[in-house]
């Protein structure tokens, strides 16, 4: 009996020691960095600006606004705040979002023609993160703005993603029908399979749809060459804004890219990420050139920090592809939070989302507490005379990054959402939020 008591006592002591070790480990591993991050950075008040003070250099072609998370209201609201500013100060007339190209066409048709209901439109978007009042406010503002200005001042909405091939089908079929191009009934019949989101891309019917799209692409390119040479063709002007042959060719390209994307090995994340970001960069380039021909040389885009920033370690980001093309004419603005309660999808549980709390331990984001909760920092303002701030922005530091997938393991592995990066190597400027709140999904 005494032996049993001794064994129980020893086990109890070991358990207490284990709990203490884990607690101390958590304090060092999780909480110590965030406590240290709240240390005041000297001279910050000389460089922290209001979002309304954002100043984009002349000649900029693409202004990219990132978001550290998809699930925070502050970052969704920021899209509209920055867009309003760029429309007024920089004459920006095009906004592109990390949503599918075809879904962008749907929103664009609404903001130019007023046809449809914004609540229904956002519910039809494939990403749940956009089923919010914040998103509704964005497209309603664009529509209201367009109703008050001349045609040459109207703003256009685009999607630069390519993961939903079905989103483009309606516009391709309608264009063929309205312009007497090819056998639109055949096109309609062949492309219907793409509405089945569960069909495998190797399915014979998908292969037939792919061949149909390639034939249509060849026909449209042929008509475009005839038009250039002033040779009459069956192609007639379409009244629905803004669907023209260039837009349809881009929609076809997005579907073809999507088919190739989903044929990849789904476990090869590196290859899939590389392809997606490359395709998104090509869409952004197309949007910028298309708008430039309409007299709008500068566009604004918005997506996750991991897409718009440079120097991603696991894949070549969209931002890196765009920098290769535009160099200093690409202006990337990153974002970060210090504390967040973020709305995220649960990994492996379809359609289930929850609100989860994290801290980035980002020393720059921690300073936002001193500036009414948010501020803008342009790295071109900072030099060696800036003291400690210069060292911070030019050194590896913890920055928050949350995607669309939550696992309880993230609570114990802060390195999964505290990514070490050098701010000046990744962005031209940043906006920081001290405490971010979750988006509210409209059911």
Do the Cβ atoms of 82 and 51 come closer than 8 Å? yes
pLDDT of 29 higher than 70: no
What single-letter DSSP state applies at residue 303?
E
The better pLDDT of the pair 6, 428 is held by 428
Note the pLDDT tens digit of each residue in 338-365. Answer: 999 999 998 766 668 999 999 999 999 9
Do the Cβ atoms of 269 and 405 come closer than 8 Å? no
pLDDT of 187 higher than 50: yes
Note the pLDDT tens digit of each residue in 278-294. Answer: 999 999 999 999 999 99
Least confident of 19-28, 62-71, 103-112: 19-28
Q: CA angle, corner 86, sides to 390 and 342, nearest 5? A: 65
Do the Cβ atoms of 338 and 359 come closer than 8 Å? yes
Q: Average pLDDT in the 214-235 region? A: 69
Reported confidence tier of residue 229, pLDDT bands at 50, 70, 90: low
Q: Average pLDDT in the 401-420 region? A: 88
Beta strands in 346-428 (DSSP E): 353-359, 374-378, 397-400, 418-421
Q: Average pLDDT in the 288-317 region? A: 93
- The distance of Cα 235 from the centroid of its chain, to the nearest Å, equals 35
Beta strands in 268-373 (DSSP E): 299-304, 330-345, 353-359
Q: Average pLDDT in the 155-177 region? A: 94
Cα–Cα separations (whole angstroms), residue 88 to 48, 52, 175, 376 = 22, 11, 34, 18
């Amino acid at each position: 009996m005494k032996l049993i008591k001794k064994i129980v006592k020893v086990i109890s002591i070991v358990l207490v020691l284990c709990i203490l070790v884990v607690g101390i480990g958590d304090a060092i591993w999780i909480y110590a960095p965030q406590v240290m991050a709240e240390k005041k950075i000297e001279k910050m008040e000389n460089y922290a600006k209001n979002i309304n003070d954002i100043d984009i250099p002349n000649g900029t072609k693409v202004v990219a606004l990132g978001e550290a998370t998809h699930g925070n209201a502050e970052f969704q609201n920021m899209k509209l705040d920055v867009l309003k500013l760029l429309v007024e100060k920089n004459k920006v007339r095009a906004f592109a979002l990390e949503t599918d190209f075809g879904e962008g066409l749907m929103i664009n048709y609404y903001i130019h023609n007023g046809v449809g209901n914004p609540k229904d439109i956002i519910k039809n978007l494939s990403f749940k993160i956009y089923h919010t009042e914040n998103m509704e406010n964005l497209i309603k503002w664009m529509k209201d703005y367009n109703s008050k200005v001349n045609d040459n001042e109207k703003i256009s909405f685009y999607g630069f993603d390519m993961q939903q091939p079905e989103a483009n089908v309606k516009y391709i079929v309608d264009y063929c029908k309205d312009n007497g191009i090819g056998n639109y009934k055949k096109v309609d019949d062949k492309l219907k399979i793409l509405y089945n989101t569960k069909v495998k891309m190797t399915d014979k019917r998908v292969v037939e749809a792919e061949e149909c799209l390639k034939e249509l692409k060849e026909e449209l390119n042929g008509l475009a060459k005839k038009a250039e040479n002033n040779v009459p063709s069956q192609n007639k002007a379409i009244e629905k804004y803004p669907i023209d042959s260039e837009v349809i060719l881009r929609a076809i390209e997005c579907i073809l890219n999507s088919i190739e994307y989903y044929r990849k090995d789904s476990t090869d994340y590196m290859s899939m990420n590389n392809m997606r970001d490359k395709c998104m960069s090509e869409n952004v380039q197309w949007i910028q050139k298309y708008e430039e021909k309409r007299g709008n040389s500068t566009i604004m885009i918005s997506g996750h920090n991991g897409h718009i920033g440079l120097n991603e370690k696991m894949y070549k980001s969209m931002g890196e592809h765009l920098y290769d093309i535009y160099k200093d004419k690409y202006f990337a603005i990153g974002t970060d939070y210090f504390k967040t309660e973020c709305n995220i999808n649960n990994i492996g549980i379809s359609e289930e989302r929850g609100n989860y709390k994290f801290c980035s331990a980002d020393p720059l984001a921690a300073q936002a507490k001193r500036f009414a909760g948010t501020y803008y920092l342009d790295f071109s303002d900072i030099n060696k005379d800036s003291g400690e701030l210069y060292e911070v922005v030019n050194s590896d530091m913890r920055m928050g990054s949350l995607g669309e997938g939550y696992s309880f393991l993230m609570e114990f592995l802060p390195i999964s959402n505290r990514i070490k990066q050098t701010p000046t190597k990744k962005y031209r400027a940043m906006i920081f939020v001290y405490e971010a709140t979750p988006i509210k999904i409209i059911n």
